Amino acid sequence: MTTLALPADRCALVVEMAAIRANWRAVRQSFAGAGVGAVVKQDAYGLGIAEVVPLLAALGCRDFWVADLQEAADVRRAEPSGRIFVLHGLVGGTLRDYQALGAIPVLVDMSEVEALARLAGDAPAACAIHLDTGLNRLGLGLAEVRRLAAEPGLLGRLQVAAYVTHLAHFSDPGARANLWQWRRFSAWTRHLPPAPLSFSASSGVFGPKERHGDLARVGSALYGVETTPSRPQPIVAAATLTAPILRVHRVPAGREVGYSGAYRTRSARRLAQLGIGYGDGVPYRFHGDAHVLIDGHRAPVVSTSAMSLMSVDVTDLPEEALRPGLRAVLFGPGLPVDQIAAAAGVAPNVVHVRAGRSAPRFYLPCPDEPGAGTATAPRPHHAPQMA
C-alpha cells in the first residue's frame, strides 16, 4: 500500500481516490435512472475539483453540478467535455459566459426564464429549470409553472436539459413529505415539454426507486459523508483528517486549560496537544462529547480549539500509544465526520468542507491507475483561513 510522508508538525487531509471510486460505483449501482452526475461545488466538498473531476470523468461521469460560474470554470479546466450545470442560475455571468464554458444555467425563477428566452439567438439556449416543490428556496412555484405551460413560445426558445427540484427532508428519503414533493414534481412537469427529471441527490439514490427520476445529483455520498443517519448508506470515508501530537503533559487537579478557563481538570489528568485548530477547519467549540483516535484508542477533546492547537485527554491511553510522531485522527474510516460534527452542533459537510479548504491535502491514487504507488504532494491553498 502507498504510504505518505505527512508533515511532522501540522495537520493533513488525506484523500483516498479509491474510496471515491468505490462510492461512485455504489451510487451508480443503486440508482435506477438514466444517469448520475457529481456535485462538485465548494471545490468538490473540500477534496479538490482538479483531482476529483478527472477521476469521476474516467469512471463515466458526464454531468457535473456546481454552485456558480467560477466553479464551472474550474470544472471545465479539469474536464473539457462534460456537461456542467450551474445551480445558482444566471447570476454572475452573461449568456455568452455560459456558452463559452459550455455550462448550463439552472434557472431559479420566472424572470430568469424570460431573460434567457429574450437573449436566445437563432438556436434555443440550453438551460435547466428549477421547480420549487417544497423547500421554498430556489425555483418556480405552481403559478409560474402554469404560466410557463400556457406560453409554449417562451419555452420554444429554450433547450431544457433537465427539470430540477430539491428535497426538503433529504436526510429521510422515505419521509411522507418527500412523496408529496415527488407527486408535485411529476404532476407539474407533465404539463411542460419533455425533459429529464432530476429529483434524487445523495440520500435519494438510496431511497425508493420509484422516485429516483432520470438524473441524479450526488455530492456527499461520493465523498463518504453520511446524509441519512437513521439509514446508513453503503459508502466509505474518502478523506482522513489527522494531526500530530506536539506534547504530552500532566496537569494537576483544579487547573484551567485553554482560553478563559474553558475546561477545568477535576482530577490530575494527562493531556496531549495536537497540531490542529479552528484555523485548519475544525470547530472552535464542542457542545457534546467529541473524540479523536490515537493508535486506535478514543481520546476525548477538552477545552476549546485554538487557531492551530487542540487539547485531548489521554489519561486512559497506554504509554505506547503516545510515542513521538504519532498522529491523531479527527475523522476518517473508523471515526465518521458526522460524529465530530454532531458534537459541534453543525452539519457534517461544514467540517468536511472547511477542513478541505484549510488543511494541506494529500492524495492516495487508485491502485490500478498509472502513477499508483507515488503519493501526490499537497496543492497550495489560497482560500482564507476559516475563523
The residue assigned the cell 491523531 is 328
- In angstroms, rounded to a whole number, what is the distance separating the alpha carbons of residues 89 and 95? 11
Q: What is the dihedral of CA 73, 76, 77, 80, to 10 degrees?
A: -160
Mean pLDDT (whole number) for 268-288: 92
Average pLDDT rounded to a whole number, residues 254-273: 90
What is 239-364's CATH topology?
Lyase, Ornithine Decarboxylase; Chain A, domain 1 (2.40.37)
| C-alpha cell belonging to residue 337 | 465526520
* pLDDT surpassing 90 at residue 258: no
Given 41, 45, 223, 278, the catalytic residue: 41
CA atoms within 13 A on the CB side of 277: 17
CA nearest 41: which of 62, 18, 69, 77? 69
- At 270 the three-state DSSP class reads strand
Determine which one of 45, 259, 263, 278 is catalytic. Answer: 259
At residue 230 the predicted structure's pLDDT band, cuts being 50, 70 and 90, is: low
**Residue at 205: amino acid letter:** V
Helix (H, G, I), strand (E, B) or coil at 349: helix
31: exposed, middle or buried (Cβ count in 10 Å: 0-12, 13-18, 19+): buried
Beta bridge partners of 140: 131
Alpha-carbon Rg of the chain, whole angstroms?
A: 23
Residue-averaged pLDDT of the chain? 89
Alpha helices in the chain (DSSP H): 17-30, 41-45, 49-58, 69-78, 95-101, 110-119, 142-150, 152-155, 176-189, 337-344, 348-358
Partnered with residue 331 across adjacent β-strands are 241
CA–CA gap between residue 154 and residue 152 (Å, rounded): 5
Residue-range domain boundaries for the chain: 31-223, 239-364
Asked if residue 173 has pLDDT above 80, the reply is: no
Residue 209 designated active-site: no
Q: What is the mean pLDDT of residues 343-353?
A: 93
In CATH, the architecture of 31-223 is Alpha-Beta Barrel (3.20)
Q: Is the pLDDT of residue 192 over 80?
A: yes
